[in-house]
Amino acid sequence: MTPYEMGRISSFLIKHRKLEDRADKRGLQREEKDLALVLREASIENIRDLEELMSGQGFSLITLNSFDVPGIGHGSRVYLLARRADSLCPLLDPGRLAERMDPSNGRATAAKIWFTQIWLIHLDLLYTQRDRGPHERHKWLDASFTRDMLEQSVREHINGHVRRLNPAELASSEVYEVLTSEKGADIARYTKRFLDLMCEGGMLDERSDGVYRQSLLSAVEIKENFDRTLAPLMVVGSDSPAAPQLATVSHTLLTRRDDNEEQGSEL
Amino acid sequence: MAHVVQTFLKNLQFMHKLDLSPLLKVTARLLDLHDSRRASGESPQYQSEDRPGLGDGRYLAMAQEVLDVLQVFGIASGDEYSTLSSIQQAVQERLKWAIDLDIEYVLNVLARPTELRLLHTDDEAPSHVIGDKETALVEKAAHVVEFRLSRVGKTALSIASDNMDIAYIEGDVTKLIRALDAGRLTSALGFVDRLLMQLRSEQLSLSALIEQTSGGRKARQDVFADLETHRETMRRTVVLIEEARLKVEALIRRDVPVEDDVPIGLIKAKIKELSGGVVRYGRELSRLAELSMHSAQSSVQAPSFRELAQQWVKTPPASNQVGLVLSIVGPVVASGIQPTGTDFTGLVKARVQQAALAQNIELDGFEVPPEDRFLEWLSLNQSTLEKRLQNGGVDLFAALREGLGEMDRNAALNCLVTALTAPDEWVNEPVQANLDRSLARSHVPGLEALTSSLTLKRASNEAREDSHDPL
């Protein structure tokens, strides 16, 4: 692998986050086929160099084959560029969430709230409803849902839980305010934008009209990074009596919130 | 036959329990398709789910025992027919509730052939339907009520008892080795393909178990009870696969003509893949063993993301906190100017190959140094040395004085010392050398030498007896 080829592979992976080396080659781009061949013929030293290059940019280069995870054919390989929880990649932009979720109103906070809430509900469909732990990468092939299912879950969450909360206790919660001000078509509109964003970001694949499945990249990233991202927040949120001490410590460490912090900065 | 029945009953407790359910499971839907009355082009929905029968599974349980009993009887008697009463007695030992008439009914059903209509397709000829009546699992003797397993029945039992457990992988690799020994590459390819498929399936199951265990979701008791045995099996299997690999190498090296069309390189590549797979499987077993030691004693439920969403309605986390989470596990797209291949071309200098230094050696002008010209020196001076040896001995100082330490006006001290210290090169009789501590200075061309005295003499009789070493 020449430095030029390594640069091409790096560029392709940063853009698509996935490079497939399949025997049938159907649906693969021309560039992907060429780069897959380069990677297949690369020496171990070359692959190590590429891993280090990617590591320096905040990624882990993960190579999977048919012995690693279901969904990869015999003799095929998939190269994934997973983000690392310990270093942020400057080449990726998560800042367009609000813009894409609510392009007309420009209400960045409300857009983020909608995205975050739908995102957690979608994780509930992919993991909790299937009795699947975040480390269980191998179940990604069965992790699918329809747009209707997601909409229904979000509706149940808002109508069945959020609207039943005591408003007096939640006067300062902007999340409560945004969700309860939902009009009839908001859920469908935000859900559609959420799904488009997730597909564009490579987290979901649209299998057919209105049917979505978790991508292998998403399953891998959740497995690799759950313990350092969401797990501490779930301990904070847990009501179980077994975790109060850790929850207290984690809350202090993770949030460090100022009492006077503006509500606009909350989600 | 009574003796056979007694032996059978005695050994009953040690026998492997036959299970026909896998056979039934894999053929049930195929039979549905065979019996389908649907015309081509009709609705794709399948609705006739009714299965006639009592639904108590009694006859199937009896059939299982009947076939098992017939197999044992057949082994003991060399495929002789068994009487109805002996079969009934043996089956009733296992199934107390089975009555004679029911067992006979089961035997009659198993012995009756049914015709299957199968579409036969040739590569060139048009396809056509053929009838196959070889379906009876039991053969009934003519004129008497006696039974034995049919050829199809034996095949059925062989399939039912075929153990696909990874614990028996050694046996499968041994079959592969035997196939390679015999040069049957088609069979070898079949074995190695099946092994790879089985190993891949087991590897994925193991990975799933590891993911559940490492996530703290799997109970400790769910992990293999005999992990160490499994690991030992894998270690032995690696050795066997290495043997198979060597067999392939030998086939390639000897260029043995084989009748099969299977390319040997394909088998070699698959064996290499198999070897890597087994090594990895063994390693993952070790990892699982390590994980299971630290895992919880009971299973835990998957975390509830809906509860987290509800929690965040009441007590929202800080914006930057959520932003951080989404930047790591949320959707992102590449932005800005990304490095391309050409960005790297200017930064990395190509390695320049050093021009090899030209070495001009003129052999014509090369002069061999005096120390490498011993034989030449010896041919010039051997007669002088031998004369000196006959007349009392060769002394180093005297030889230097006579000019033996030089050749062609160059110092040849090395040659002289070599001649005195290694006399075997030019003397055929026993000699002895005496080294004196006295030192003397000598001049040879280009060299000022300070040497001790060294004298070479013919060995006396006493000296010959004292030592075998001339020096």
Q: What pLDDT shows up at residue B440?
A: 77
Interhelix angle for A3-16 vs A30-41, to 10°? 130
* Residue B11 pLDDT greater than 80, yes or no: no
Helix (H) or strand (E) run with residue B283 in it? helix B264-294
Q: What pLDDT shows up at residue B371?
A: 64
A75 vs A67: CA distance, rounded Å: 10
Task: Calculate the CA B345 to chain-centre distance.
Answer: 42
Mean model confidence pLDDT for chain A: 82
Q: What pLDDT shows up at residue B340?
A: 57
CA distance A211 to chain B (A): 18
CA distance A249 to chain B (A): 15
B358 vs B360: CA distance, rounded Å: 6
CB–CB contact A128 B305 (8 Å): yes
Q: What pLDDT shows up at residue B7?
A: 56
On chain A, the residues whose CB falls within 8 A of the CB of B345 are 3-4, 7
Pick among B206, B333, B351 to test the A interface (most A CBs inside 10 A) = B333
B266 vs B248: CA distance, rounded Å: 10
Q: What are phi and psi of B305, to 5 degrees?
A: -75, -25
Q: What pLDDT shows up at residue A171?
A: 74
Give per-residue pLDDT as tens, B227-237: 777 777 788 88
DSSP E strand boundaries for A47-138: 59-65, 77-83, 92-93
Beta strands B431-444 and B447-458 are antiparallel
CB–CB contact B339 A7 (8 Å): yes
DSSP E strand boundaries for B135-211: 138-140, 146-149
Q: What are phi and psi of B394, to 5 degrees?
A: -105, 120
Q: Fill in the amino acid letter for B417.
A: V
Ranges A97-101, A203-207, B86-90, B243-247: which has the least confidence = A97-101
- Among B residues 122-181, those touching chain A with beta carbons less than 8 Å apart: none
CB–CB contact A112 B324 (8 Å): no
Q: Which of B302, B308, B334 is the closest to A233 by Cβ?
A: B308
* Residue A263 pLDDT greater than 50, yes or no: no
CB–CB contact B312 A117 (8 Å): yes
Q: Which two tokens stand for residue B138?
A: 């039991």
* B330 has a chain A CB within 8 A of its CB: yes
Q: What pLDDT shows up at residue A250?
A: 39
Q: What pLDDT shows up at residue A60?
A: 92
CB–CB contact B318 A230 (8 Å): no
Query: Quick one: which of B410, B413, B404 has its CA closest to B368?
Result: B410
Check residue B330 and report its DSSP letter: S
Q: Which of A91, A121, A229 is the closest to B306 by Cβ?
A: A121
Average pLDDT over residues B422-435: 81
Average pLDDT over residues B318-341: 77
Q: Other CB atoms closer than 10 Å to residue A141's CB: what's the count?
A: 13
B469 vs B420, residue with greater confidence? B420
- How many contacts (CB atoms, under 8 Å) link A and B? 223
Positive or negative CA dihedral for A261, A262, A263, A267?
A: negative
Using pLDDT thresholds of 50, 70 and 90, give the confidence band for residue B366: low
- Among A residues 160-179, those touching chain B with beta carbons less than 8 Å apart: 161-162, 165, 169-170, 173-176, 179
* B346 has a chain A CB within 8 A of its CB: no
CB–CB contact A7 B217 (8 Å): no
* A102 has a chain B CB within 8 A of its CB: no
B193 vs A74: CA distance, rounded Å: 11
* Residue B85 pLDDT greater than 90, yes or no: yes
Average pLDDT over residues B434-459: 78
CA distance B184 to chain A (A): 24
Q: What are phi and psi of A191, to 5 degrees?
A: -65, -40
* B228 has a chain A CB within 8 A of its CB: no
Mean model confidence pLDDT for chain B: 79
- Among A residues 7-26, those touching chain B with beta carbons less than 8 Å apart: 7-8, 10-11, 14-15
Q: What pLDDT shows up at residue B353?
A: 58
B165 vs A264, residue with greater confidence? B165
Find the largest Cα–Cα distance for chain B: 127
Q: Which two tokens stand for residue A106?
A: 């420009």
Q: Which two tokens stand for residue A210?
A: 């209105």
Using pLDDT thresholds of 50, 70 and 90, give the confidence band for residue B458: confident
B234 vs B56, residue with greater confidence? B56
Q: What is the pTM of this model?
A: 0.65
Query: Quick one: which of B427, B403, B422 has its CA closest to B413?
Result: B403
> What's the Rg (C-alpha) of chain A?
21
Alpha helices in A167-255 (DSSP H): 174-180, 186-200, 216-225, 230-237, 244-254
Using pLDDT thresholds of 50, 70 and 90, give the confidence band for residue A253: very low
- Which of A208-217, B328-337, B409-418, B446-455 has maximum average pLDDT? A208-217
B276 vs B338: CA distance, rounded Å: 37
ipTM of the complex: 0.79
Ranges A98-107, B150-159, B231-240: which has the least confidence = A98-107
A228 vs B68: CA distance, rounded Å: 57
Cα distances from B210 to residues A137, B218, B275, in angstroms, run 11, 9, 21
3-state secondary structure of A241: coil
Using pLDDT thresholds of 50, 70 and 90, give the confidence band for residue B448: confident
Using pLDDT thresholds of 50, 70 and 90, give the confidence band for residue B266: confident
* B322 has a chain A CB within 8 A of its CB: yes
Give per-residue pLDDT as tens, A3-41: 888 889 998 999 889 999 887 777 778 888 889 999 999
Using pLDDT thresholds of 50, 70 and 90, give the confidence band for residue B465: very low
Q: Which residue of B has its CA nearest to A136?
A: B211
* Residue B204 pLDDT greater than 70, yes or no: yes
Give per-residue pLDDT as tens, A114-135: 999 999 999 999 999 988 989 9
Pick among B222, B332, B344, B345 to test the A interface (most A CBs inside 10 A) = B332
CB A134 within 8 A of CB A220: no
DSSP E strand boundaries for A72-231: 77-83, 92-93, 144-146, 204-208, 211-214
* B193 has a chain A CB within 8 A of its CB: no
Q: Which of A88, A127, A261 is the closest to B305 by Cβ?
A: A127
Q: Which two tokens stand for residue A249?
A: 């410590």
CB–CB contact A138 B208 (8 Å): yes
